[in-house]
Amino acid sequence: MTYLRTIGEVIGFLLVCAVVIVKDIVKFFIPKRYKMKSINGEIALVTGGGGGLGRLLSLRLANLGAIVVVWDINEAGIEETVKLVRAAGGSCYGYVCDLCDREDIYKKARIIKEEIGKVTILINNAGIVTGMKFLDTPDKLIIRTMDVNVMSHFWTAKAFLPTMLENKKGHIVSVASLAGQVGIQKLVDYCTSKFAAMGFDEALRMELENEECNIHTTVVCPYFIRSTGMFDDVRASYIPTLSPNVVADRIVTAMRCNEKYAIIPGYLQILLALKWLFPWPCVAMFLRGLVQDASPSHPSFVTAATINTKEMCTVPLSKDQNGAVIHQQLTRRVSSSERKP
């Protein structure tokens, strides 16, 4: 009987898989504009919203009718984002929040609930990179990377998820990286944190799906993004670095379509699958050829004594963050598919 039961379970599993695959194939051919959910009136929190990708996301979310809340350690950057969003006709609020400080995260979360309302969209976008060889990286910088890139995901989710569960509605977006799928030299701490962010998203999704609570999660894995101050001078071949506008559009679309994963650019999904098919020497040779140096301009060594505590959690802005080119990108007209419903 046990043997027959096992066979029955396997057959049942395969039948369910077949149905799911057919449904996904049908969904694939449905235009995305018909699959996108409205976020009009939702309260969306964006970490690292004081510049770069976070600012672009804030503008797009506000344009779709969401009430945007921006968290960052950079007060001037927050003020600029709030000003840009409001100038575009959106609703935006900014709070200085130290993502390395769990208690500060919980405190600011309580303030938002009291002053603005219940957050239903959480976008963990803040990220930092040291770009140094592992043994040259001071301990404090490694701790900072883990605090901002992954540990803050735990604390923000614990701060806002209970309310989402009460209302049986919510969406958590984790901005990871393709460096969370493959290892890159000079990015040991960064890759580790992004691998962890992916694991966090997948495990949390499993729990939430088991609860059947209508709370969705999306993990985003982009290639190197230019004009964000993190990988502007990366030496890479074959695949061009990404425009932050393209990445922002893709993140918003993935969230509105309740996608589980968003690999940017999408064709890299094939290369990621090949990683497990080819022998390691082939994979390593390809990765070394693809990314010669992730941080060529970074000094080879920085002593821990030179690190200012207050600067530990500051997400660096690009040199031309406030320049005309970036300002035009930030204030450009959003595509028709991304207008308010």
Catalytic site residues? 190
Residue for token pair 């989710």 = 157
Q: Of 77, 70, 58, nearest to 95 (Cα)?
A: 70
Measured between alpha carbons, how far is 193 from 151 in angstroms, rounded to an integer? Answer: 9
The separation between the first and the last C-alpha atoms of the chain, rounded to the nearest angstrom, is 56
**Dmax over Cα atoms in the chain, in whole Å?**
73
Pairing of β 235-236 and β 291-293: antiparallel
* Length of the chain counted residue by residue: 341
Decide: 255 and 46 in contact? Cβ < 8 Å.
Answer: no
Nearest-5° Cα angle at 158, 157 to 164 = 70
Q: Is 135 left (phi over 0), alpha (psi -120 to 50) or beta?
A: alpha
Q: Could you tell me the two tokens for 111?
A: 């303030």
